[in-house]
Amino acid sequence: MKKPIRKKQRKAPKQALPIAHWSHSSLMAFLRNPLAWYKRYVEKIYDTPSNPSSFIGRAAHVALQHYYGGIGKQGATELGLEYLRNVADFEINFGKAKSRRAQKEKRAHMERDYLQAISFYLARAPKHKVLGVEVVATAEVKGLPLPIKAVSDLVVESRIEPGAVDIVDHKFVETFSKGRGQKTLFVMQAIFNYYTVKQKYGKEVRRFIVQECKKRKNADGSSQMRRYIIDYATVSEEFEVFHRLINDATREIARKRLYLPNPSDMFEGENSFDIYRLGLLDD
């Protein structure tokens, strides 16, 4: 008696993930406000205006990109200012400045703040043996289901370990970060940069250096610059947490789910709630 022929059962196809990679900004956005994350990183809609301070920081990054790329201080400052002036009004969240005159004054204030901030930095610009500026890299990491991507402001020769590199990240801030309070945020960002720089350069990555520059002048005349250093050799436990967090976040976005707003999000709470209220995005 012939055995009945059994049809081969096809495995159910894995559900495609909605993103191609994780970055520090996308992970933080997902944890803070899933609906705003879905809009930006899945639907790729970038219509939410940014606050003036974020554009000041971006302009300063443009200036430093050119400065560490070999352009003089004045030329680098002008290029940052040019970037700032080319930002369209609709991209800026002017807050209470609704009239054309009020917005013009706000933009003039943004320029003054930028020029002050970048002058503070360039007055005491740290010296590095620069290997790369604005280094964009993606890395496949064992144990992670998605690649990770990061932009490193500077990749420099390490001063404490021959043959190794350090990563420098610039932040222009209203107030200096408290070391302990910001450690988790800094370390999570640092690990994204660690893997991407290590894979791109094929060298040991020793430190992540956060160089903060305070935009407002200190009344007591103290330094406008402060540095935070994360030595990768001392944060092995944080690497384990990073892997767990990326894996858990990936499982979350893989399953069928509703993306809900976070009205308490100080950056995008109102916008995400309006999207939810109006039903503008369907999952």
Please say which residue of 76, 106, 123 terminates a domain.
123
**β-strand pairing of 225-231 with 205-214:** antiparallel
66 to each of 80, 149, 157, 274, how far by Cα in Å? 9, 22, 19, 39
Whether 143 and 211 map to the same domain: the answer is yes
For residue 267, pLDDT over 60 is answered with: no
Averaged pLDDT, 168-188: 83
The string of DSSP letters for 201-256 reads: H-S-EEEEEEEEEESSPPTT---SEEEEEEEGGG-HHHHHHHHHHHHHHHHHHHS-
The answer to whether 62 and 122 are in contact (CB under 8 A) is no
User: How far apart (Å, rounded) are the C-alpha atoms in residues 93 and 89?
Assistant: 8
10 located within any domain: no
Gyration radius of the chain over CA positions: 22
What's CA 282's distance to the chain center, in Å? 27
Q: What is the mean pLDDT of the chain?
A: 88
158 located within any domain: yes
19 to each of 24, 147, 261, 275, how far by Cα in Å? 14, 10, 19, 20
Q: How many domains does the chain have?
A: 2
User: How far apart (Å, rounded) are the C-alpha atoms in residues 140 and 146?
Assistant: 7
Lowest-confidence pick of 1-10, 61-70, 212-221 = 1-10
The answer to whether 60 and 81 are in contact (CB under 8 A) is no
Please say which residue of 80, 100, 123 terminates a domain.
123
Whether 110 and 216 map to the same domain: the answer is no
Structure tokens at 95: 């807050």
The larger pLDDT score, comparing residue 219 to residue 277, is at 219
Whether 249 and 135 map to the same domain: the answer is yes
Whether 155 and 193 map to the same domain: the answer is yes
Whether 135 and 181 map to the same domain: the answer is yes
Q: Structural domain of residue 102, as residue ranges?
A: 50-123
Residue-wise pLDDT tens digits, 139-172:
999 999 999 999 999 999 999 999 999 999 999 9
87 located within any domain: yes
Give residue 68's identity as a one-letter amino acid code.
Y
- Cα angle at 34 between 97 and 48, to 5 degrees? 25
Residue-wise pLDDT tens digits, 43-102:
998 888 899 999 999 999 999 999 999 999 999 999 999 999 999 999 999 989 999 999
